[in-house]
Amino acid sequence: MLLASHQSEYVFPSINGGELAKANFSYHYWRPIADGRPATVIRGKRGGRGGSRRPLPAWREVPAYKGKRLYLVRHGAKEWTDEDGHSRVAVESRMRHELPGVEGTYSNVTPVMERAIMVSLQVRWVQFAGTLGQDWEPISPRPLPVDLVGWMNRQVTAAASLN
């Protein structure tokens, strides 16, 4: 759905349509999302400071993420997989960490380990989706390129049917 919603070859393109991996994600994306930002205005014809080539609306801060580094947010998934009792090798591999010594050299992640992690994370997602009401609405400063509200309502409905 996301890929079909824009002209870039990447599912998650950068602001200019290129590779997101080459963008300064923390500065251009995460900080404005977490801390909020004022609206930008188009620069005058002579350019200069204080404007932008792309006018963007003001974004409210997200209190849960304000001042936090994106690097630390990703560790929530590690905590969840640890809580669910998954193999240390599978969890660390998923985090792209290397295990030292013999354990790191001779241990491998199997498809069964990966599926077990997927199942437990899916269960967590369904439990979360079940806490949302049908009036759930994403907070987004711009219209979303896909019907995320419709998709999420289907998730909430599916989660409710399991309870």
Q: Is pTM beyond 0.95 here? A: no
Tell whether 42 is covered by a domain.
yes
Tell whether 140 is covered by a domain.
no
Please give the C-alpha separations between residue 105 and each of 78, 82, 97, in angstroms, as whole numbers.
Answer: 21, 21, 13
Tell whether 20 is covered by a domain.
yes
Contact 14, 30 (CB under 8 A): no
- By the 10 Å C-beta count (0-12 exposed, 13-18 middle, 19+ buried), 80 is classed as middle
Residue 50 domain boundaries: 1-63
* Number of structural domains found in the chain: 1
How far is 116 from 120, CA to CA, in rounded Å? 6
Count how many Cα atoms sit within 13 Å of the Cα of residue 130 in the half-sphere of its side chain: 12
Tell whether 97 is covered by a domain.
no
pLDDT in tens, the chain (163 residues): 677 777 888 887 776 677 877 777 788 778 888 899 888 777 666 655 655 666 777 888 888 888 888 777 778 888 999 999 999 999 999 888 888 989 888 999 999 999 999 999 989 988 887 787 767 666 655 556 667 677 777 877 877 777 6
Tell whether 51 is covered by a domain.
yes
Tell whether 25 is covered by a domain.
yes
Provide the 10 A C-beta neighbour count for residue 34: 21
Tell whether 58 is covered by a domain.
yes
Token pair 């077990």 in the structure block, residue: 116
The residues pairing with 19 across neighbouring beta strands, listed in sequence order, are 13
Q: Hey, what long-range contacts does 130-134 have (CB within 8 A, 24 or more apart)?
A: 130/156, 130/159, 130/160, 130/162, 130/163, 132/156
Tell whether 82 is covered by a domain.
no
Count how many Cα atoms sit within 13 Å of the Cα of residue 109 in the half-sphere of its side chain: 19
